[in-house]
Amino acid sequence: MSKIEQAETCPAIRPRRFYDCSLNEKFLYTSFLMLAGLAYIMALAYLYTSFDGIDGKPGLSVEDIAENYYGNRSGTRLESAIRGPMASNIDKEQRNHVVEWLKSGAPEAGYERVIKPIFSKRCVMCHNPASGLPIPDLSSYEGVKQVANVDTGVSLHSLMKVSHIHLFGIGLVAFGIGLVFRFALLPSWFQQTLTLLPFIAIFADIAAWFLTKWDPVYAYTVIIAGGLLGLSWALQILISLYQIWFLRCRVEIEHDEQK
C-alpha cells in the first residue's frame, strides 16, 4: 500500500476589521487617533508661529521656509531673528535702530550708546550665559558680534539634531496610525498607498531641509511633502474613526429556493 503525502495548507482567514474589535479596542484606537490628530494640529500652529514673518512680511510663505534653512545671505543672523521669531520681543522703532546699526558695520561705539540699552531691556534676561539656554549671548559686544554676521540659515549641526529626532518620533507616530488604519475596509490599492504615503512624505520633507540649505528652491518640496503628510494622516484618522463606530458587518445569508 503506497503512502500518500499530504501537504498542510493554511485555511483562508478573513482579515480583521473594525467591527471585529472589542469595545475596549475601539476606545483605545479612538483615543490614540484623536490625540495624534490634536498633536499634529498643535505642531502646525507651532510651525506657523516659528516661521511666520522671517522674511519681514506677515504670514507664512515659501520665502519664510527658504530663509529659515538657506538664510538671508544679504542680511545678518541677528537681523533675521528680530524680523522673524523674535519680532514680538522688540518694538518697531527699536528694531529699526538695531537694523541701522547692523548695516553700518555693527561698530562697538554704537553698541554701547544705542544697542546695549535695547538688548538689556528686551533680550538679556534670556540671552545671557547664566541662563544655560543654547541661544546666542547678547549681554556683551563680543557675543552680539558673533550673530552680527551674514545669515546662512540654520546650521547643519542643528539640522542633523532635529532631523534624527523627527525621523524617530514622526516615524513612530506614522507606524501607530498605520497599525490602526490596517483594520479599515477599503480597496487594497488605496489602503496600501495611504499607508505608505506618510513615510515617503516624512523622508522627502526632511531631505528637503538639507537641500533647501543648498538651494532655496527646495522650500517648495518642504511645503508639498508637509501637505502630503497632513493629508494622508487626516484621511487615515477620519476613515478609521468613522469605520470604528459606524461600519457594520454585512452577513450574507444564502437562501435555498424550493420549487
Instruction: Please write the tens of the pLDDT for every residue from 123-148.
Output: 888 888 887 777 888 888 888 888 87
Tally of residues, the chain: 259
| pLDDT of res. 253 | 42
Mean pLDDT value across the chain: 85
pLDDT exceeds 90 at position 70: no
pLDDT exceeds 60 at position 10: no
| pLDDT of res. 229 | 96
Say how many CA atoms lie within 13 Å of 14 toward its Cβ: 8
pLDDT exceeds 90 at position 226: yes
| pLDDT of res. 208 | 95
Residue 76 phi, psi dihedral angles, 5° rounding: -115, 165
| pLDDT of res. 56 | 66
pLDDT exceeds 90 at position 225: yes
For residue 12, the Cα-to-chain-centroid distance in whole angstroms is: 41
* Alpha carbon distance 92, 74 (integer Å): 20
Mean pLDDT of 81-97: 82
Q: Return the number of other C-beta atoms located less than 10 Å from residue 17's C-beta.
A: 15
Share of the chain above pLDDT 70, in %: 90
16-20, 112-116, 172-176 — which one is most confidently predicted on average? 172-176
Higher-scoring residue by pLDDT: 230, 61: 230
Amino acid found at 169 = G
| pLDDT of res. 1 | 44
| pLDDT of res. 189 | 95
Mean pLDDT of 188-195: 96
Q: Classify burial at 35, counting beta carbons within 10 Å of its beta carbon; exposed 0-12, middle 13-18, buried 19 or more.
A: exposed
Mean pLDDT of 221-245: 96
Domain ranges for the chain, please list them.
Answer: 18-51+154-246, 74-147
Mean pLDDT of 236-255: 81
- Supply the pTM of this predicted model: 0.69
> pLDDT digit string (tens) for 197-208?
999 999 999 999
